[in-house]
């Protein structure tokens, strides 16, 4: 597997400096924001080929110097957004308001996030987000074009994602818009998974997103998904550490149970959140909805149907109007079950999730040929008597134990099955409990 960049020590130094500032309750001087970015990025540029990591979409006005994100004046961004007027407003994130704008110097349409002065994202977090999005480039991560750190103003300039967020299309759909069809939902799920896989397995050191939710999955042309809003992202554990201890942050309804109760953060915390997003795509329900009273938590509401295989299709979003392949739907639910395991070690890694979703997304649904997407040769849990309350690795042993017409998919499935069987064997040998399912 290729590594996107190899400067662990540099990132560690940056992280330690920022953590010290937070502990001391000191905000770095404005000058330090620019100095930190310039010095760290210049040092990295002299040692590594940054251009090879940035991909084919550098900021237009800084293409000759992609190492350093361009800076903008507050006046430039105010002009671009028509002075941040209501007609330019396109959304609200955890740390501020987002506006659509057009840069005078390039004519480029962008999204400008104006951070709240009283928000949770101070200079250390602002600096980390700028550094991460400058150095981490992937087709499924939103591109940062530049920033403004002028006086007490903090603004981030991103590529404009024309179709808004996944949350908009699932929960706040305008009357003149069509709901997402099955094939589009699966494409979005697979793409978002690839972005998370990149952060967990290709970034060095790994990055834990920490706030994965449908509102932070933005959609471009053709509903191409990209992860956005890295304000809460953390560097993963290094050396022999198994987790990162941190203040519990994120969004209610998406937080992994072990992180919410202990503050111990791992990549498996992100995977739980991804399982919630997958349930959102399948059901059309919000992760947390006070309108449903005792059933306000999506995972709790879904629990009875996830336990009973005969009720699985009752989970389906009514807006799908029954237009989905039943067998693929059930297998996608199984992926969600794996991601939502109570015990973090029983959750798959994102590489495995990507493998499954890539295959399932490839089974396109054709409403004119209802059986075209069905997966043949898979044992149905509902008819096999399998107790899904203790499923430990159904993807490896049953979900993708399939007779398909593509040798590559079969090979991937077998490899995945072997990996999961080995993991379960080790888990059984090291713990008196051989299973710790979703329903404990």
Round to whole Å and give the CA distance between 26 and 89: 32
* First-last CA distance in the chain: 36
The per-residue pLDDT for range 109-129, each reduced to its tens digit, is 999 999 876 544 556 667 777
Ramachandran angles phi, psi of 373, nearest 5°? -95, -5
pLDDT value for 38: 60
Q: Give which of 328, 312, 327, 337 is closest to 435, Cα–Cα.
A: 337
Report pTM: 0.75
Rounded to whole angstroms, the Cα distance separating 169 from 343 reads 31
pLDDT tens for residues 159-197? 999 999 999 999 988 888 999 999 999 999 999 999 999
355 with 412: CB under 8 angstroms?
yes
Q: Is 55 left (phi over 0), alpha (psi -120 to 50) or beta?
A: left
What is the DSSP code string of 27-76? Answer: PPPHHHHHHHHHHHHHHHHHHS-THHHHTT---GGGTT-TTSPPB--HHH
Instruction: Return the higher-pLDDT residue of 144 and 17.
Output: 144
Active-site positions? 211
Q: Domains along the chain? A: 8-159 (3.30.200.20), 166-430 (1.10.510.10)
Position 417 scores a pLDDT of 55
Where does residue 246 rank: exposed (0-12), middle (13-18), buried (19+ CB within 10 A)?
Answer: middle
114 marked among binding-site residues: yes
> What confidence category does residue 377 fall into, taking pLDDT thresholds of 50, 70 and 90?
very low
226: pLDDT confidence band, cut at 50, 70 and 90? very high
Q: Is the pLDDT of residue 6 over 60?
A: no
Give the H/E segment covering residue 155. Answer: strand 153-159
Rounded distance, CA 287 to CA 195, Å?
Answer: 21
Nearest to 352 by CA among 334, 373, 379, 327: 334
What digits encode the pLDDT tens for the residues 303-362?
999 989 899 999 999 999 999 999 999 999 999 999 999 999 999 999 999 999 999 999
**9-23, 71-85, 136-150, 320-334: least confident range:** 9-23
Euclidean distance between CA atoms 414 and 347, whole angstroms: 18
Sign of the torsion angle spanned by Cα atoms 133, 136, 142, 146:
positive
Other Cβ atoms less than 10 A from the Cβ of 383: the count is 9
Cα separation values, 360 from 169, 190, 296, 353, 356, Å = 21, 9, 29, 11, 6
101: nearest Cα among 164, 166, 159: 159
Question: β-strands 244-245, 264-265: how paired?
Answer: antiparallel
């Amino acid at each position: 597997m290729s590594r996107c960049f190899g400067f662990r020590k540099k990132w560690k130094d940056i992280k330690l400096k920022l953590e010290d500032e937070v502990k001391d309750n000191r905000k770095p001087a404005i000058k330090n924001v620019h100095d930190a970015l310039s010095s760290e990025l210049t040092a990295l540029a002299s040692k590594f080929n940054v251009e090879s990591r940035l991909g084919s979409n550098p900021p237009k006005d800084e293409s000759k110097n992609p190492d350093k994100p361009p800076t903008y004046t507050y006046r430039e961004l105010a002009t671009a957004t028509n002075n941040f007027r209501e007609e330019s407003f396109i959304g609200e994130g955890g740390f501020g308001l987002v506006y659509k704008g057009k840069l005078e110097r390039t004519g480029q349409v962008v999204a400008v996030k104006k951070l709240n002065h009283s928000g949770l994202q101070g200079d250390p977090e602002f600096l980390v987000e700028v550094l991460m999005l400058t150095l981490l480039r992937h087709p499924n991560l939103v591109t940062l074009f530049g920033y403004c750190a002028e006086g007490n103003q903090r603004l981030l300039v991103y590529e404009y994602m024309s179709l808004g967020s996944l949350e908009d299309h699932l929960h706040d759909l305008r009357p003149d818009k069509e709901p997402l069809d099955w094939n589009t939902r699966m494409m979005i799920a697979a793409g978002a998974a690839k972005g998370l896989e990149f952060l967990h397995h290709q970034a060095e050191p790994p990055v834990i997103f920490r706030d994965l939710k449908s509102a932070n999955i933005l959609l471009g042309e053709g509903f191409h998904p990209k992860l956005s809003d890295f304000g809460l992202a953390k560097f993963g554990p290094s050396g022999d550490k198994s987790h990162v201890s941190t203040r519990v942050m994120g969004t209610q309804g998406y937080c992994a149970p072990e992180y919410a109760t202990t503050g111990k953060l791992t990549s498996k915390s992100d995977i739980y959140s991804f399982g919630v997003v997958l349930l959102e795509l399948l059901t059309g329900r919000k992760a947390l909805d006070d309108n449903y009273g005792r059933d306000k938590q999506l995972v709790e509401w879904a629990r009875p149907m996830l336990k009973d295989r005969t009720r699985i299709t009752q989970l389906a979003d009514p807006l799908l109007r029954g237009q989905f392949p039943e067998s693929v739907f059930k297998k996608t639910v199984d992926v969600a079950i794996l991601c939502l395991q109570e015990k973090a070690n029983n959750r798959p890694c994102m590489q495995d999730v990507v493998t499954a979703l890539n295959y399932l997304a490839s089974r396109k649904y054709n409403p004119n040929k209802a059986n075209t997407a069905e997966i043949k040769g898979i044992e149905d849990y509902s008819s096999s008597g399998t107790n899904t309350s203790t499923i430990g690795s159904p993807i490896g042993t049953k979900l993708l134990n399939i007779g398909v017409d593509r040798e590559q998919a079969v090979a991937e499935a077998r490899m995945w099955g072997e990996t999961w069987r080995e993991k379960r064997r080790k888990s059984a040998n090291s713990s008196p409990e051989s299973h710790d399912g979703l329903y404990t």
